[in-house]
Amino acid sequence: MKLTRYYAFLLATGIAFLTAGCQSQDEIKRQKYITEGILIYQNTCANCHQPDGKGLEALYPPLAGSDYLAKQDSVIHLIRYGMQGPVQVNGKRYNRVMPPNPQLSDLEIAELTTYIYDRWGNDPTLIDVARVKGVLKAGTP
Ligand code: HEC
């Protein structure tokens, strides 16, 4: 009986240790994505949406605190394919053209999206390449 409890204890700590190990691997990957994401954002998006993500007047909608971020599939899709036509962001109407970004790889979109949701979407999860591929393959959300 005592021995069984000892093995149960060993098993539990083993599982806890392994799980913690996995989480920190994911976290290391996420931090790497964010570091790359910042650069991609600065080079590709900040001109319009501004370095602080607050957008520009009635021209460019904000990413910071944007209620549109709830539609993560659409966000992934519009980064690659652009966007046009009227859209409501935080109750304000925008109607301009966002150019597509065919030069960004699936990995770069994953890095960029991970960064955007970490910084402005209050969502510290890793958005990986498989997720981006899945959304883009599914077509227009
Ligand atoms: C040339 C200016 C321009 C650039 C560069 C640009 N956008 Fe946009 N973006 C816009 C406009 C304009 C809209 C609104 C389009 C509409 O009216 O339908 C928009 C909409 C969005 C939206 C949905 C609305 C919101 O604010 O939440 C997201 C998310 C977004 N852009 C992210 C990005 C990201 C990420 C990049 C960099 C890859 C980027 N944009 C680059 C102009 C731009």
Is ligand 1 within 6 A of the CB of residue 62? yes
CATH number at residue 96: 1.10.760.10
Residue 57 domain-assigned (yes or no): yes
Residue 37 domain-assigned (yes or no): yes
Per the rule left: phi > 0, alpha: psi between -120 and 50, beta: everything else, 55 is: left
- The domain total for the chain is 1
Question: Is the full-model pTM beyond 0.85?
Answer: yes
User: How far is ligand 1, taken at its centre, from the CA of residue 31, in Å?
Assistant: 24
Which residue's CA is the closest to the ligand 1 atom numbered 29?
Answer: 75
Residue 82 domain-assigned (yes or no): yes
3-state helix, strand, coil in the chain (%, to 5): 60, 10, 30
pLDDT of the chain, 141 residues: tens digit per residue? 577 888 888 788 777 777 776 778 889 999 999 999 999 999 999 999 999 999 999 999 999 999 999 999 999 999 999 999 999 999 999 999 999 999 999 999 999 999 999 999 999 999 999 999 999 999 989
User: How far is ligand 1, taken at its centre, from the CA of residue 74, in Å?
Assistant: 11
Residue 91 domain-assigned (yes or no): yes
Residue 54 domain-assigned (yes or no): yes
Residue 134 domain-assigned (yes or no): yes
Domain that holds residue 47: 29-138
Ligand 1 atom at minimum distance from 67 CA: 27
Cβ-Cβ contacts under 8 Å for 18 (sequence gap 6 or more): none
